[in-house]
Every structure is written in C-alpha cells, then in structure tokens.
C-alpha cells in the first residue's frame, strides 16, 4: 500500500500515519523527518539541504525528490509506505508520480483528512496550551490554513483527476477516524 496523506495542519495526519504504519506494516515517511535525518547524517543531499536552509531558503523540489528516491529504494518500502508532508504542490505531485513509475512502484491512494477550519483552530489552541507552542495561536493557525488551502487545492484536484483521491472525515475519536481510513483504502484489513 503506497499512500499519501493530505490534510491541513492539525487535521490529524501525523497521529493517523503512526497508527496506519503499525496496522499496514509499512514505513511512515515524513519529508520533514527525512530532511532532518539526511542533514544529520551528512549525506550529499543532506549537505546541499543544510546549505539552502542556512541561507533561510526552502529546500528545492529536486533535493526532496532525491531524498525520496533514496528512501524508496530501501527494502522496507517494497511493500509500500505512508507519505506525509509531500507533495505540497502540483509540481511535486507530478514528480512523485514520475519517480514511482521510474521505480516500478504503483501508487495506491491519496487520503485527504477533512476537518472544518474552526475545529482545527480549536484543536491547535488546545495543543498550544498543552505544549506551550506559540505558533499555534488562532491568528497564525488561520494564516497557515489559508496557505495550505491555496497550495494544496491543485494537488487535491490532481489526485481526483487520476481517480486516486479518497476523502475521509477527520472529525471524531481517533479510532473512528482510523477505521474510516482503513475502510476507505483497505476494507479487507479493517479492524472488526
């Protein structure tokens, strides 16, 4: 099972990815974690990324794609993966398709977790209070949601056009949301 998890910040992607990883027995690949690991390891791509980040710039799609190509070539991804944090734009979605085709790997589904923006603001306000995160104040959360909507609308349309988009209601208890995802992508693996 090769999945992309889509959803606004605070929609529960990370939480559900961890659960899906255990249930489907495939790795959860977060591009943020992958980037940090490559930089820490001092790999050639990691060193390139470190230079870019030191200048305060965003890491290029080419560097991220190179890291993903390396990651997808490892044995633990042969049965699939859960990709979180990529693709964030249309160019990345097309590049991911090309990469998987070049590796002879079939893409299964993009799962979009939908949560009303005001519920996300409430969720993240709770997280901000619990974890002391200043970046989760309502004003900055609304701005991040606006940027997310602008950037990912084309990605969602891309997967919809390819018949690969699955929309799942991300509101409810963790188990309810998890079971909705499993029912949508792999009903044969659903939890009784």
| Catalytic residue IDs | 13, 88, 127, 133, 144
Please check whether residue 121 is in contact with residue 142, taking contact to mean a CB–CB distance below 8 angstroms. Answer: yes
Structure tokens at 95: 């590049």
Structure tokens at 143: 């701005």
Strands (E), 22-134: 28-30, 81-84, 109-114
Q: Using H for helix, E for strand and C for coil, what is the string for 135-183?
A: HHCHHHHHHHHHHHHHHHHHHHHHHHHCCCEEEEECCCCHHHHHHHHHH
CA 112 to chain centroid, in Å, comes to 10
Q: Distance of CA 147 to CAs 9, 36, 89, 151, Å?
A: 10, 23, 11, 6
Please check whether residue 174 is in contact with residue 15, taking contact to mean a CB–CB distance below 8 angstroms. Answer: yes
């Amino acid at each position: 099972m090769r999945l992309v998890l889509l959803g606004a910040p605070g929609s529960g992607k990370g939480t559900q990815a961890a659960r899906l990883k255990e249930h489907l027995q495939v790795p959860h690949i977060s591009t943020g974690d992958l980037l940090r690991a490559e930089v820490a390891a001092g790999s050639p791509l990691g060193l390139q990324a470190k230079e870019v980040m030191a200048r305060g710039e965003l890491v290029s799609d080419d560097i991220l794609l190179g890291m993903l190509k390396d990651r997808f070539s490892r044995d633990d991804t042969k049965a699939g993966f859960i990709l979180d944090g990529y693709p964030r734009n249309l160019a990345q979605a097309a590049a991911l398709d090309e990469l998987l085709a070049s590796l002879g790997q079939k893409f299964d589904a993009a799962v979009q977790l939908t949560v009303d923006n005001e519920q996300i603001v409430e969720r993240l306000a709770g997280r901000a209070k619990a974890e002391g995160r200043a970046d989760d104040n309502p004003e900055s959360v609304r701005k991040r949601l606006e940027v997310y909507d602008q950037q990912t609308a084309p990605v969602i349309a891309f997967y919809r056009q390819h018949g690969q988009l699955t929309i799942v209601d991300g509101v409810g208890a963790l188990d309810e949301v998890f079971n909705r995802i499993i029912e949508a992508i792999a009903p044969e693996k659903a939890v009784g």
